[in-house]
Structure 1
Amino acid sequence: MGPGGGFGHGKLKFDEEEAKPDISKALLLRIVKYFAPYWKQTLLVMTVLCISAVLGLLPPILIQQIIDRALPDKNLQLLFLLVAASLATTVVSGLLGVLQNYLNSFISQNIVHDMKNQMYRHLQSMPLQFYSGVKQGEVITRMTSDIAGIQGVFNSTIVNCASNLFILISTAVTLFIMNWKLALLGILVIPLFIVPTRKMGNVRWKLAKETQEKISEQNQIIEETLSLSGYMLMKLFTREDTALASFQTVNAQATRLQIRESMAGRWFMLVLTTFTSIGPMLIYLYGGYLFIQGELSIGAIITFVALLSRLYIPVMQMTNLYVDVNRSVALFERIFDYFDMDPLIVDAKLALPSRVEGQDIVFEQVNFAYAPDKPALSGISFTAAAGSLTALVGPSGAGKTTITNLIPRLYELDSGVIRIGGKDIREFTLHSLRSQIGLVTQDTYLFNGTIRENLLYANAEATEAELTAACEAAFIHDFILKLPEGYNTVVGNRGIKLSCGEKQRMSIARVLLKNPPIIIMDEATSSLDTVSEYYIQQAMHELLRGKTSMVIAHRLSTIMAADNILVVQDGRIVESGQHASLLAENGVYRDLYNKQFQREDS
């Protein structure tokens, strides 16, 4: 597998760009599309917010009536009525809050649901270059924390903005109706909030961004060292202390950033609290003067001060709105970065499902490079005749695996053409092409499930007889029966509970269960002992009869009977023919043969 250097991951904005996201009309329209299916629920949320904003005005106004009318008049009936109205307002507001919370959760969770489905489907379409080049943990971060953060976009940005706007408008109108002089006095304090709020917004934006980057680094370390392969590597090279030190360093950096962000918020709140106390004091001062002059009641002053806080809080939150918007847009941009990556390998417009059984596989001047400066194949031309066994031999890194990976279009060739039955494989639908190819690799992957589940992954409709026959052909059936749970035995993460040879035979049985007309084996018998390899070869001889098969092998003994042997060196086919004729040429194949058998004899 190549390094995937040509895919262009340097374009990811989160990794390289320090500037805030460019909020364009096109970007906003793209974001709105995710909310569009839930416009009815969103409209209902806005209605609830509007009603809640109006209801929030009633308790202070009712308190004014209690102080100015019920108590001075000693009107017990009016007092009970006003208290009951205030209590009812509180209950109704609480119920509306529950409804709003449900609607918020419904909309945000469904958007997250939709985006996760879309992202997973999109990631399924990405080429191997993507997964060979992307950082471990990066995909998981985008799929989990980034998309999950969209929930906060609706709750924290959209809902808060609408709620603050409704509260601000309704409160300001009420204050001016009550007393325009006091309203102007209260509004004069508002500019004091703007400068510190915007400044703190920038600080918290930077700290939050740096924190997210450190969390991404944490995920990277966790994925690399606590995945099965990384864990084993860490243990075998006794690098626990180094891994722990790396994690502790990043964890400490993230913690310090989070503490700084939290403390910055606390100092900010201290400043704002001081400013918010100025407005009420001015109201008490000037309102007291008006009371002395007989122009204002005590209840009106108390109500005014109570409503003033409803004016300041939305102003503070809305002055910081641009920070929330930038944060939200940055989150969408990180997600859109992935959505905008070209899958590269897709069905052609006129692609059709086609059968490959009984058809030749023909390479015509195929060239391929993992990156512009790293050519992997040059001028590859050969024919794998239908029903025949074609072997690929050569030193490691020669390009053998790359050749076989091009057949199911795991990579897209740069030039030339690959035909099956005279038809360009790009004219096949990807599903029909890949469903008719079986691939057994040296690095066998098994899910953390039962043996039965791993085998049926190849053919969910397989009968018990077909399952048993495939395992018998791969000489794994008897071993499975000896296990405590038989076919229901859990194999562990990546099949850790099985030996390499057992996993390899499981992989072979899985492909045999699929029963495709084309079978590709990349060092499929490399992990088998001599006896198992012998029996596998005998079984494969019968099972591959009439099928087109390509085998990559370092053990030349396994491919001596191949119908055609291709010797690959430095991305080119330097020799081809059958075993006897290649030995007679005294070329690369003869040299490989002599070195291998001399080593085995010694």
Structure 2
Amino acid sequence: MSRGFGAAGFGGGPGHGKLKFDDDELHSKISKQLLLRISKYFLPYWKQTLLVMIVLCVSAVLGLLPPILIQHIIDQALPDKNLHLLLLLVLASLGATVVSGLLGVLQNYLNSFISQNIVHDMKNQMYSHLQQMPLQFYSSVKQGEVITRMTSDISGIQGVFSNTIVNFASNLFILATTAVTLFIMNWKLTLLGIFVIPLFILPTRKMGNFSWKLAKKTQEKFSEQNEVIEETLSISGYLLMKLFTKEEAEYSNFKTINAEATNLQIRQSMAGRWFMMVLSTFTSIGPLLIYLYGGYLFIQGELTVGTIITFVALLGRLYGPVLQMTNLYVDIKRSAALFERIFDYFDMDPQIVDSPLALHINASGKDIEFRDVNFAYQQDKPALRHISFTAAAGTLTALVGPSGAGKTTITNLIPRLYELDSGAITIGGKDIRDFTLDSLRSQIGLVTQDTYLFNGTIKENLLYANPEASEAEIMDACRSAYIHEFIMELPEGYDTVVGNRGIKLSGGEKQRISIARVLLKNPPIIIMDEATSSLDTVSEYYIQQAMHVLLLNKTSLVIAHRLSTIMAADTILVVKAGAIVEEGTHDSLLKNDGVYRDLYNKQFEPKILS
């Protein structure tokens, strides 16, 4: 059961049904451009990375010493019964092992430092980027998808450094030093030992593609899982689920998605095990060939027993890196699936950004003007058509009309939550696109019908508008919103925790705190979108009285369905089907036999009980 839609136009969310892949798509994931893009995240830590490479190189050399020393123990110390030499060789081997272990600890620390900091940087970059995305992105993308990309996708790449780059370098050093050593010892046995290496590479490509598919599908299934959790266990979703008794249906849906994700993870795990089993079989062939041919050479007097034993031990050091490096292709494929999802978000255009020459704005005492504004959420479906009006400085402009007419859309264009398609919106005669977003939005206070409060104290929610506000300023704002006395009656007063989304407060109480928060910001422009809809009659009356003072010298736009709240507005705009069909004062509009008069009659005409 699906409740959401993909992020249309913004890269898309996880789909439902079978995913399809082709080889061309898979090849494109490990392009030179992708590798270059990934490498940029390591540049700030190049010193630590260089130190890791040095440690790996020294460790690779030290790793050769124990097998070589064993050869000397078997071929010299033991046959000669030289206890002193035996002791020196054993201590040297032990010393090499201890130093190698200490270097391994240092390497693990550096690996962790680099990988964790890269994840830290990438999460910061992702959060900052998502902050710049337009409102339209969040109205279309699935919530669980955003959380998955911010958490498990980015956290999943922290092993890229230690499991791919470091492993590759380590295995390369080990492979090079071991191969040189083996050729010096006996080039014939070395050629025989590397005879089976091509067998490791053959299944790797197919396994890499298969692993990539599974990793991508698994992450998408995690996104669906997070979406269900976010939608059904949030306050609003939880209440909806309870009221419509959908617990069983939602549990069944979650159980199905959870089972699919678990099966995908099992398939990932087992695919790797089967792959390694096949490769392990191939690795057993080499030592057997060495024992066979090496034994022949020993019988012929060309080799010693210590040489054969050391050769087999070093051959393990040769096969190990080869196995790791063939598996590296699989790891890269798996990592590419995660990087692709992350870079998909990074590549999304924020759309609404500051122009290079953007200026700071002071909107105090300046008119807001819409000049032939057109806007559509989707192509060929206009939401606003040829909107033109002026909200004079220091006046109250009301927008009324049926639901879905476009009133909220008009007000959302002023702080540039959406970008208009054509026309212009000006403040003081200057296009709002010529101002910085920060300065523009700092001049606007918005109170919406759907009040949002953080799960903190009342005081913390109020200070979100103005962190520098004093106790007196906070209380004055709350008195103006007629919520101060209620707060003081609470056991904890302003330190009362409101709960998730303010669940511990009534709708009217939340709304008045929201109004107090905007008043504390004290911007020159105030937008109220059905801000009094949750208030009782008495509270609405007091708010209206307070607004006469609070909106003095402020430019205000008020959306209202209850016409009683905007009768005293300086200008009333009647919006219908995305267009302004009437404009005037309350009295002038009543004289017309139009939409406003029809709305007024429906609200205020006497109700006759039959």
TM superposition score normalised by structure 1: 0.96
**Who is 1:20 aligned against?**
26
- Rounded to whole Å, the distance in 1 between the matches of 2:430 and 2:200 is 71
State whether residues 377 and 571 of structure 1, in contact with CA within 8 Å, keep that contact through their aligned partners in structure 2.
yes
**Displacement of 1:510 after TM fit?**
0.1
Q: Which has the higher mean CA deviation after the structures are superposed, 560-569 or 67-76?
A: 67-76
The residue number in structure 2 matching 1:180 is 187
3-state SS of paired residue (1:138) = helix
**Amino acid in the other structure paired with 1:8:** G
CA contact (8 A) 1:6 1:371 kept: no
Report what 2:469 is aligned to: 462
Is structure 2 residue 10 aligned with structure 1 residue 9?
yes
1:341 counterpart = 2:348: yes
Aligned CA-pair RMSD: 1.9
Match of 1:80 in 2: 87
Q: Which piece of structure 1 moves more, 204-213 or 456-465? A: 204-213
Cα drift, residue 33 of structure 1: 1.6
State the AA in 2 paired with 1:396.
S
Q: Aligned partners of 2:452 and 2:269: how far apart in 1?
A: 44
Closer/same/farther in 2, CA of residues 371 and 389 from structure 1, 3 Å limit = same
Whole-angstrom CA distance in 1 between matches of 2:163 and 2:606: 69
Say whether the 8 Å CA contact 1:6–1:370 is kept in structure 2.
Answer: no
2:363 paired residue number: 356
- Most deviating of 81-90 and 9-18: 9-18
Partner of 1:543: 550
C-alpha contact (below 8 Å) 2:6/2:14 kept by paired residues: no
Bigger mean CA offset, 210-219 vs 298-307 = 210-219
Cα pair distance change 1:76/1:388, threshold 3 Å: same
Q: Choose from 574, 583, 590 the match for 2:597.
A: 590
- AA aligned opposite 1:20: L
For 1:448 and 1:129, locate their aligned partners in 2 and report how far apart those are by CA, in whole Å.
25
User: What secondary structure, in the 3-state scheme, does the structure 2 residue paired with 1:134 have?
Assistant: coil
Of residues 509, 513, 520, the one that matches 2:527 is: 520
Deviations 1:316-370 (A, max 9, x none): 2222333322333332222221111111111112211021101111111111111
Write the mapping of 1:95-494 to structure 2, written as runs, cut at 5 A: 95-494=102-501
CA distance in 2 between counterparts of 1:209 and 1:386 reads 54
- Offset of residue 91 of structure 1: 1.0
Distance in 2 between residues matched to 1:230 and 1:440, nearest whole Å: 23
Q: In the alignment, is residue 566 of structure 1 matched against residue 567 of structure 2? A: no
Question: What's the % identity of the aligned pairs?
Answer: 79
C-alpha separation in 2, matches of 1:464 and 1:13: 48
1:20-73 CA distance string (max 9 Å, x none):
151333333222221112111111111111111111111111111111111111
Cα contact 1:21–1:326 (8 A) shared by 2? no
CA distance in 1, matches of 2:406, 2:388: 13
CA distance in 2, matches of 1:4, 1:466: 44
Residue 377 of structure 1: SS of its match in structure 2? strand
Aligned to 1:48: 55
Q: Answer yes or no: is 1:60 the counterpart of 2:71.
A: no
Q: Deviations over 1:445-487 (max 9, x none)?
A: 1111111110000000101100000011111111111212111
Closer/same/farther in 2, CA of residues 295 and 562 from structure 1, 3 Å limit? same
Is 2:555 aligned against 1:554?
no
1:199 Cα deviation after fit: 3.4
Shift, 1:560, TM fit: 0.6
Pick aligned residue for 2:507 from 491, 494, 500:
500
Partner-residue secondary structure (3-state), 1:320: helix
1:10 offset after TM fit, Å?
A: 4.6
Which segment drifts farther, 191-200 or 298-307? 191-200
Q: By how many angstroms is 1:599 displaced?
A: 7.0
Structure 2: runs of 5 or more not aligned: none
| Matching residue's letter, 1:242 | A
Q: 1:230-262, CA deviations, whole angstroms, 9 ceiling, x for partnerless residues?
A: 122111111111111111111111212222222
CA drift at 1:209:
2.6
* Contact 1:566 1:576 (8 Å CA) reproduced: yes
Cα deviation code 1:542-571 (max 9, x no counterpart): 111111111000000111111111100000
Cα distance in 1, alignment partners of residues 231 and 5 from structure 2: 19
User: Does the aligned pair in 1 maintain the 2:406–2:575 contact within 8 Å?
Assistant: yes
Q: Is the 8 A contact 1:475 1:535 kept in 2?
A: yes
Give per-residue Cα distances to partners, 1:362-415, cap 9 Å, x unaligned: 111111111112211001111111111111000000000001011111111111
Q: Distance in 2 between matches of 1:505 and 1:165?
A: 66
Q: Does 1:30 align with 2:31?
A: no
Structure 1 position 14, deviation (Å): 9.4
In structure 1, give the amino acid aligned to 2:26.
Answer: K
Which amino acid letter does the alignment assign opposite residue 218 of structure 2? Answer: T
Tell me the amino acid that sits aligned with residue 393 of structure 1.
V
Q: Distance in 2 between matches of 1:358 and 1:6?
A: 40
Alpha-carbon separation, structure 2, partners of 1:54 and 1:152: 25
Question: What CA distance in whole angstroms lies between the structure 2 residues aligned with 1:26 and 1:255?
Answer: 33
The alpha-carbon distance between structure 1 residues 71 and 428, as it changes in their structure 2 partners (threshold 3 A), is same
Which runs of no fewer than 5 residues in structure 1 stay unpaired? none
CA distance in 2, matches of 1:5, 1:403: 25
- The alpha carbon displacement at 1:13 in A equals 10
Helix, strand or coil at the partner of 2:115 = helix
CA 1:163–1:447: 2 relative to 1, 3 Å: same
SS in 1 for 2:303: coil
Q: CA deviation at 1:419?
A: 1.1
Say if 1:21 and 1:330, in contact at 8 Å, map to a contact too.
no
Cα distance between partner residues in 1 of 2:356 and 2:288: 72
Q: Indicate conservation of the 8 Å contact 1:359/1:421, yes or no.
A: yes
What letter corresponds to residue 309 of structure 2 in structure 1?
A: I
Cα 1:304/1:14, change in 2 over 3 Å? farther
1:145-177 CA deviation, whole Å, 9 max, x = no partner? 122223111111111111111111111111111
The code of the aligned residue for 1:490 comes to V
The AA in structure 2 aligned to 1:297 is T
Residues 366 and 427 of structure 2 are in contact (CA less than 8 Å); yes or no, is this contact kept in structure 1?
yes
Q: How big is each residue's C-alpha offset from its partner over 1:86-145, in whole Å with a ceiling of 9 and x where there is no partner?
A: 111111111111111111111111111211111111111111111111112111111111
- The answer to whether the Cα contact below 8 Å between 1:4 and 1:128 also exists between their aligned partners in 2 is no
Distance 1:263 1:289, change over 3 A: same
Write the deviation string for residues 498-522 of structure 1: whole angstroms up to 9, x where unpaired.
Answer: 1111110010000000001110000
Q: Classify the secondary structure of the residue corresponding to 2:402.
A: coil
CA distance in 2, matches of 1:532, 1:13: 46
What secondary structure is seen at the aligned counterpart in 2 of 1:188?
Answer: helix
CA contact (8 A) 1:4 1:130 kept: no
State the distance in 2 between where 1:201 and 1:557 align: 67
TM-score (norm 2): 0.95
Structure 1 Cα separation of the partners of residues 203 and 321 of structure 2: 15
Equivalent residues of 2:483, 2:509 under 8 A apart: yes
